[in-house]
Amino acid sequence: MLSTLSQWLFNTAGLEPHGYCLLWEPGLIWLYAASDTMIALAYFSIPLSLAIIGKHRGDLVFRPLLGLFAAFILLCGTSHWLDLLTLWTPLYSLLGLIKAATAITSVITAYALWRGLPNFLALPSFEQLRRANVALRASEERLAHAQKLEAIGQLTGGIAHDFNNVLQVISGSLSVIERKLAQNRDADIAPSLEAIKRASNTATNLVARMLAFSRRQTLAPREIEPDRLVAGMEEMLRRTLGPEIRLDLRPLRCRSNVTCDPSQLESALLNLAINARDAMPQGGTLRISTADRNPPADIADSDVPPGDYVEIEVEDNGAGMSREVLDRAFEPYFTTKPVGRGTGLGLSQIYGFVRQSGGLMRIESEPGKGTSVRIYLPGHAPTACLQAGSAPPSAESFDHCGSRARGKALVVEDQPEVRSQVVDALQEMGYAVCEAPDGITGLKMLEAAGELNLLVSDVGLPGMSGGQLAEIAHAARPALPILLITGYAGASLEKLEIAPNMDVLRKPFTLDQFSASVRALTQAKASVG
């Protein structure tokens, strides 16, 4: 049977080639030959392009139709090749068979096209897709704006609640003091004064946490050794955790140091330890470890440059968190603790501090499997002379040193009431004080002054900032003790290198805290000298 079919396909007896019909006219022969060759090559290239499209675009809804269309075009190209051959060889049977196959395939393709025509017409145009994308982006922006407003509402509501409590304590205590004074009962106002002090401390901590969350708090960065800092917190952590919690410290001898505010880092680790303790009411194990490690790629972003990092991990085997709680862990005023047990500002404050210090945070947790919090801070090689973070000076009353002459001090502060308080405190300590209401005036007085023993400057000054003034003063008088006081420094101190004879005191502060900071600066100068 195969031989019969082959004989029928390739038997040319009694047939004349197509060139015979063209009278073997050279011009017509080569016109037909060139045309069929070009058509066949083009037809053979089309199925190849369709195959590439089908391979790389598996999402196309009309992908099966590509196969039909490719087969149809391939058969058309084959028929043109046979037309070329029949110019000289009369293979009309084979050509007819290919044309029959082409006809069948073309009918099937046409049927599929007509049947799918409504679906093809329903496909969106480029302009429709563009308008849909614009509408989608606008919808996403409205959703993001609504979520932002909701978060702001939650934040402002929490702030209003806490500050109203503080104001209630202050206003109520002032009313009590007024009544006691009207009754000539001066000795009975001490409890109210203590209540006002506690309320002001609460407001101070609240503002500090808000600034930390917004990454706008005033930091006093120092180069620190992570292993030494963690090891130095052991006694404090054991007292805080209690005997039910087993503390496991694993400093792994980091090769890199970090530059950040040591007091804020200690506060962050202590806060995480307290959270872990509360998650283990029946007792458990808290592990704090350090290591030289790069942050995982899934939490790194464009804001954090690549490089070496130090990882500080705080891990517990407590109750853990669900996915819903984990997604909201960094939101301010979000807490799962009972009323009165937590403000919901701890993790948001830590997150703000870490990001402001150029680092990243990651939390992993599952219900019943504990929680792991990893802090990644930029690491660098230790310097030759590591600045040890000095312990906070004790708030010894400045009255004890008011009779001793300390020298000459320059106070630069634009708020008259604050400037008056600082000047009075320094005079009580024995300083001869010069005052300046802004940075430019302070710079002129600094240049005109002879011997100067202390510079106290606010950071947020009109004109020249306190940070710029401190930089100029340190360049001109490297040994001059400089104390910067600030309620909100913004970006003013980001580029200022805090020298050993410089310090930052955050507002609000008590006069005892102010005098203790001044004393620590001057004593450090005396010990160096």
Both tokens assigned to 220? 């006093």
Question: Around 44, how many Cα atoms within 13 Å sit in the side-chain half-sphere?
Answer: 11
Place of tokens 């306190």: 466
Q: Around Cβ 365, how many Cβ atoms within 10 Å? A: 22
pLDDT digits (tens, 9 = 90+) for 156-209: 676 776 777 788 888 888 888 888 888 888 888 888 888 888 888 778 767 766
Residue 387, classed as helix, strand or coil, is coil
pTM over 0.85: no
The CA distances from residue 16 to 20, 24, 33, 88, in Å, are 6, 12, 17, 9
Q: Which residue has the tokens 């069929």?
A: 36
13-72 pLDDT tens trace: 556 777 778 778 888 888 888 988 898 898 888 888 888 888 888 777 777 788 888 888
How does strand 482-486 pair with strand 431-436? unpaired
The DSSP letter of residue 459 is: S
Most confident among 163-167, 214-218, 232-236 (mean pLDDT): 232-236
Whether 421 shows a pLDDT value over 70: the answer reads: yes
Q: Does 394 score more than 60 pLDDT?
A: no
Contacts of 295 (CB under 8 A, 6+ apart): 304, 309, 311, 360, 362, 376
